[in-house]
Amino acid sequence: MTNMTQPWIFTARCPSVVGTVDVVTRYLAEAGHYIEEIQSFDDRASGQFFIRIEFLPAEQDAFAPEAFDEAFGARAADFSMEWNLTAPGHRTRMAIMVSKYDHCLNDLLYRYRTGQLKVEVPLIISNHPDLEELAKWHNIPYYHLPVSAETKPQQEAEIVRLLDEYDIELVVLARYMQVLSPWLCEQLDGKAINIHHSLLPGFKGARPYHQAWEKGVKMVGATAHYVNNDLDEGPIIAQGIQEVGHAHYPEDLIAKGQDVERITLFNALKHHVERRVFLSGDRTIILSH
Amino acid sequence: MTNMTQPWIFTARCPSVVGTVDVVTRYLAEAGHYIEEIQSFDDRASGQFFIRIEFLPAEQDAFAPEAFDEAFGARAADFSMEWNLTAPGHRTRMAIMVSKYDHCLNDLLYRYRTGQLKVEVPLIISNHPDLEELAKWHNIPYYHLPVSAETKPQQEAEIVRLLDEYDIELVVLARYMQVLSPWLCEQLDGKAINIHHSLLPGFKGARPYHQAWEKGVKMVGATAHYVNNDLDEGPIIAQGIQEVGHAHYPEDLIAKGQDVERITLFNALKHHVERRVFLSGDRTIILSH
Amino acid sequence: MTNMTQPWIFTARCPSVVGTVDVVTRYLAEAGHYIEEIQSFDDRASGQFFIRIEFLPAEQDAFAPEAFDEAFGARAADFSMEWNLTAPGHRTRMAIMVSKYDHCLNDLLYRYRTGQLKVEVPLIISNHPDLEELAKWHNIPYYHLPVSAETKPQQEAEIVRLLDEYDIELVVLARYMQVLSPWLCEQLDGKAINIHHSLLPGFKGARPYHQAWEKGVKMVGATAHYVNNDLDEGPIIAQGIQEVGHAHYPEDLIAKGQDVERITLFNALKHHVERRVFLSGDRTIILSH
Amino acid sequence: MTNMTQPWIFTARCPSVVGTVDVVTRYLAEAGHYIEEIQSFDDRASGQFFIRIEFLPAEQDAFAPEAFDEAFGARAADFSMEWNLTAPGHRTRMAIMVSKYDHCLNDLLYRYRTGQLKVEVPLIISNHPDLEELAKWHNIPYYHLPVSAETKPQQEAEIVRLLDEYDIELVVLARYMQVLSPWLCEQLDGKAINIHHSLLPGFKGARPYHQAWEKGVKMVGATAHYVNNDLDEGPIIAQGIQEVGHAHYPEDLIAKGQDVERITLFNALKHHVERRVFLSGDRTIILSH
């Protein structure tokens, strides 16, 4: 499905050598494609090159990604380049997992409904029944999958089955308050984003606002990161903070933190679905204007 | 030394009971003193009451703090209240300790010279000779006290002797890059403020910007805190942050962090010298407008 | 309706003279009421004194505001003091007026539903039918009152009739995109809060994001202010900003500004319903901790 | 003068057409130059294309900009492209103009002295003698050029003569409190940056903090912009803000605004000397990572 005014997105990575930009831009120029936006980054730490381009094809309706892959691939092979094309109007299929706190869910559904967040949300999964009505109002199937220590393996298997069934590309843990098993972490590696309610790596683990209060901090924060197999240690995509004072008890921090949590999560998701986030080891490269 | 237009500052603390505000404000009203500003806080966590008042005495020139203490003390005793009076125009005698990084020192001296920071700076102490010229330009004695593992006890004894000699009320560790001994920490307990270049309790200890870079954080911060005997664990007074991105290597974080370090340190010092900071266990209460 | 753990709120104002704090705190102490929080401000510009106190009555269930008014009034008269008592658990009756943009409405209803914003919302008024479904989901009556140049007098009369009928204390203009007539402004004077999508007094009037884009600003903002009879000139309660760049066209500014608009509006409403906002000429005093 | 590890900077602009990126990147690739960083922007509003590249020449010592200009120019002509090369280690020759407020001057000199701001400062010009000592300490010639309504033409002619004599590329008005004549504005057009102490276009002209206080704003700001012939209307490069409250009188705003003024000015200068700022009509394009 193409669109007359929106660009295709090209992203790529490879080892840093002379000519990495040229191999891409020359191909686009020769094909008559028009570059609207280009950013690159050479990570000295990893020796890797990253690039992101938005381009308008020479003939929008005739553009064939398969032909692009074949023709460009012949040149990219010399650079061991991995690349990806995203069509205009493509909407990432995103599942939301949530428990009882609904501030992130409410925010995501609002932005989804109003088109701020260009995704599809085919389903919501929760270990509690509480938020079903909110899902219903948005006409999104809501799967209530309760979980206990004993039933966790079955519950997680059911989650993975649903993600498969609905052809999900991205999972958002929008305050899903369960520790994922190593098996589920592995299934979700690189395709799930979690919002943690602290400025990681500070206050990892449970009840971070209570931890923050005990330390008497003057700022609380939130961190959106990819899920990997080390709890609260996945690559960081976005962070946000909120000033607090002595008059704020833990319950106040919880309330005040909600705005920064949902805005931080949205920022991370927006970067991700716009194909701006690249992994370089445990760090993220974000090619943004 | 009094001043016709600036107020006296009254601060106090005691256990929370009915009448704590009244015992103060009634006394001031009966004496004809004019309250310009009042803030109080009852800390539910510690059961302590804190109050700060700025008042203009009925007769500025005739105001005698000794008489105040005696008359008010008779009433305050019922509340086990501890209190303090600070005269208009009082300038805290503040020693600065520094190593080689001069961004905090330069900033403090600028604010001292221009009257933004109402203190006296009778001396600067450093374990390096590098910053003597800067001190000289501001006409402040500079003590170069080199230190090694062997000479630390003598060096620290000399520091304490100098603080005594110069009648110092407050010590600022303005990027003094030495670990203080438990003995010196004890000497400075509650009368020294340190600037740490991270958002504590994250990235305690050495090279916090390098630690932050390794974790791929999107924000770096600074924390000004009182010194106590637990390294980088003293009560937090002020914090600040700075956004960073993937293109910032550790040396960039060091450079970018300088502004937030010096502004955070200044904010903490301003609160302290204006008698706005109270300790409640390991947390600070800051009574500000 | 009282509550065992929440305080009564006392606010007052009068000309600045000696004894203004004492007349209040002495009365409270003598009555055995416990002050949890106190802030005052003397505005040098207007010569006015402002105070806000949260107190727990000596006997919560027996506290009678009428008796307070009578007994305290006898003393307050000497100071020409105007005062106000707000009961614990009191919820301001707030009407929301809106047109088609729903980001502020959605946010307010979320905070209302979850208890973050302690108000009642008895009705929503709109000049468009679009947002009725959202109102319905929250079980709030939705009045669609279309308006044209000819029908404005009748439509505004109907608005005022509804505000009366529902006993409304506060009106929120949550992106209500109609210029109010001087008559309606007068009716709402001091009891309506508007959110304007610029950092006032910059970019008054229509299409502020377009104005901002034309000037090439690097920050856009939002301002929540009381309505008075001078368009976009009422006393400012809260402001917020958002960084923007050259890649953001007017439509991007509109999207990016939504978060700062709704958070700024919420901050202003929270201050207002907690009785923290005082008017001093065209400026607001906000007594907050 | 070359440097083994720092890149050359290439910047260019031309009308937006297919192949603008390619003509640059192909040339660099064919010459064996290594692109470390690339950003472009197509301004839909003006139909202009802007690009900035940092590259390491194939042979650092043998790189000849004249040869580059000739060879690349043959290709660039087809695109009506204007371009510029900046050598590694090039330091912009920057004159500072100042009156009596020294917070910006002190900050710039600190950053100059410590290498944060990669410029040369061959001279300081002031209409007052006050800051000569500060200049002296940094070993920078200080020209005291007093000015009155009658002597303005001569004084300004002398300024221009000095800028010529010292071969100045950039003039910083670091709180130079004189209105420049249209003649001087024209001389400085595009090569002078001013810091104005408000969030332009709000509070243009004199005493912006007093204007801001009168309006009761909750934020004050600063704007760094190019000088053009419309006072305080030149293209904006950077802006910053500072929260303020009712307790801040105009003199407090002046003090609180100093930090945001100097940081905003520094941010603008850093962008300018790193060749990141492009003019597109009255708006700036800033190509930054």
Residue with tokens 């005062």, as numbered in its chain: C83
pLDDT tens per residue, range C37-68:
999 999 999 999 999 999 999 987 889 999 99
- Helix H or strand E encompassing A93: strand A92-98
pLDDT tens per residue, range D236-273:
999 999 999 999 999 999 999 999 999 999 999 999 99
| Alpha carbon of D132: minimum distance to chain C alpha carbons (Å) | 34
* Spatial distance between the Cα atoms of A118 and D182, rounded to a whole number of angstroms: 50
Closest of A94, A78, A87 to residue A24, by C-alpha: A78
Print pLDDT tens along chain D (289 aa): 334 568 999 999 999 999 999 999 999 999 999 999 999 999 999 999 999 999 999 987 889 999 999 999 999 999 999 999 999 989 999 999 999 999 999 999 999 999 999 999 999 999 999 999 999 999 999 999 999 999 999 999 999 999 999 999 999 999 999 999 999 999 998 899 999 999 988 888 889 999 999 999 999 999 999 998 776 789 999 999 999 999 999 999 999 999 999 999 999 999 999 999 999 999 999 998 7
Is B1 among the domain residues?
A: no
* Spatial distance between the Cα atoms of B135 and B157, rounded to a whole number of angstroms: 22
Is A19 among the domain residues?
A: yes
pLDDT, residue B110, reads 96
Is D280 among the domain residues?
A: yes
| Alpha carbon of B165: minimum distance to chain A alpha carbons (Å) | 34
Q: Cβ–Cβ of B215/A202 closer than 8 Å?
A: no
Residues B230 and B99 both lie in one domain: yes
Residues D62 and D203 both lie in one domain: no
Residues C236 and C255 both lie in one domain: yes
From C19, C29, C40, residue closest to B19, measured CB to CB: C29
Q: Locate C191 and state its tokens.
A: 């009891």
Question: Of A53, A86, A119, which residue is a domain's last?
Answer: A86
pLDDT, residue B4, reads 52
| Alpha carbon of A59: minimum distance to chain D alpha carbons (Å) | 13
- Any long-range contacts for C70-74 (C-beta under 8 Å, 24+ apart)? C71/C27, C71/C31, C72/C24, C72/C27
From C20, C42, C289, residue closest to B41, measured CB to CB: C289
Confidence of residue C2 (pLDDT cuts 50, 70, 90): very low
Q: How far is CA D243 from CA C239, D213, D216, D221, D246, in A?
A: 9, 12, 12, 9, 11
Tell me how many residue pairs between chain C and chain D have CB atoms under 8 A apart. 74
Contacts of A179 (CB under 8 A, 6+ apart): A231
* Spatial distance between the Cα atoms of A126 and A142, rounded to a whole number of angstroms: 7
Query: Chain A residue closest to D50 (CA)?
Result: A37
Confidence of residue C1 (pLDDT cuts 50, 70, 90): very low
Q: Are C176 and C196 in contact (CB under 8 A)?
A: no
Q: Cβ–Cβ of B289/D245 closer than 8 Å?
A: yes
Q: Report the pLDDT averaged over residues C139-147.
A: 98
Separation of first and last alpha carbons in chain D: 26
* Spatial distance between the Cα atoms of D143 and D124, rounded to a whole number of angstroms: 6
Residues D115 and D82 both lie in one domain: no
Q: What percent of chain C has pLDDT over 70?
A: 98
Map residue D66 onto helix, strand or coil. helix
Q: What percent of chain C has pLDDT over 90?
A: 88
For residue B150, the domain's CATH number is: 3.40.50.170
Give the ranges where A64-115 is alpha helix by DSSP (H). Answer: 65-76, 103-113
Chain B residues close to A286, C-beta within 8 Å? 245-246
Residues A118 and A252 both lie in one domain: yes
Best of D6, D25, D33 to disrupt the A interface (most A CBs within 10 Å) is D25
Query: Of these residues, B69, B164, B232, B252, which one is catalytic?
Result: B232
Residues A32 and A140 both lie in one domain: no
- Number of independent structural domains in chain A: 2
Closest of B218, D207, B240, D236 to residue C219, by C-alpha: D236
pLDDT, residue D4, reads 52
For residue C56, the domain's CATH number is: 3.30.70.260
Q: Report the pLDDT averaged over residues C189-203.
A: 91
Residues A96 and A159 both lie in one domain: yes
Active site residues of D: 232
Q: Report the pLDDT averaged over residues C227-240.
A: 88
Q: Cβ–Cβ of C215/D221 closer than 8 Å?
A: no
From C201, C236, C238, residue closest to D202, measured CB to CB: C201
Question: Of D86, D116, D135, which residue is a domain's last?
Answer: D86
Residues A153 and A42 both lie in one domain: no
Is B3 among the domain residues?
A: no
pLDDT, residue D3, reads 42
Is D3 among the domain residues?
A: no
Residue with tokens 């094909």, as numbered in its chain: A31
Is B37 among the domain residues?
A: yes
* Spatial distance between the Cα atoms of C125 and C97, rounded to a whole number of angstroms: 5
Instruction: Supply angle C-alpha C226, C230, C234, rounded to 5.
Output: 25
Q: ipTM of the assembly? A: 0.91
Residues C156 and C40 both lie in one domain: no
* Spatial distance between the Cα atoms of D168 and D159, rounded to a whole number of angstroms: 11
Residues B163 and B129 both lie in one domain: yes
> Between these two residues, B228 and C235, which has the higher pLDDT value?
C235
* Spatial distance between the Cα atoms of B174 and B193, rounded to a whole number of angstroms: 8
| Alpha carbon of D280: minimum distance to chain A alpha carbons (Å) | 16
Query: Of these residues, A232, A252, A259, A282, which one is catalytic?
Result: A232
D56 bridge partner residues: D34
pLDDT, residue C6, reads 83
Q: How many CB atoms lie within 10 A of CB D148?
A: 8
Q: Cβ–Cβ of C22/B20 closer than 8 Å?
A: no
Chain B residues close to C33, C-beta within 8 Å? 18
Average pLDDT for runs of 10 along chain A of length 289: 70 95 94 93 94 93 92 95 96 97 96 95 98 96 97 98 98 95 92 94 88 93 91 90 94 93 97 96 92
Burial class of residue C229 in the structure, from the number of CB atoms within 10 Å of its CB (0-12 exposed, 13-18 middle, 19+ buried) = middle
D144 bridge partner residues: D126
Chain A residues close to B286, C-beta within 8 Å? 245-246
Q: Cβ–Cβ of D289/A33 closer than 8 Å?
A: no
A34 bridge partner residues: A56
Residue D227's Cα: distance from chain center in Å?
A: 10
Is B193 among the domain residues?
A: yes
Q: How far is CA C257 from CA A278, D3, D96, in A?
A: 27, 44, 36
Average pLDDT score, chain B = 93
Map residue C52 onto helix, strand or coil. strand
| Alpha carbon of B168: minimum distance to chain A alpha carbons (Å) | 27
Q: Report the pLDDT averaged over residues B78-90.
A: 95
User: What residues make up the domain containing C74?
Assistant: 8-86
Subunits with 3+ Cβ pairs within 8 Å of C are: A, B, D
Is A2 among the domain residues?
A: no
Residues C261 and C163 both lie in one domain: yes
Chain C residues close to D289, C-beta within 8 Å? none
Residues A107 and A126 both lie in one domain: yes
Query: Chain B residue closest to A238 (CA)?
Result: B218
Q: What percent of chain D has pLDDT over 90?
A: 88
Question: Of C86, C121, C139, which residue is a domain's last?
Answer: C86
Q: How far is CA A72 from CA A84, C261, D158, in A?
A: 11, 45, 61
Best of D243, D252, D259 to disrupt the B interface (most B CBs within 10 Å) is D259
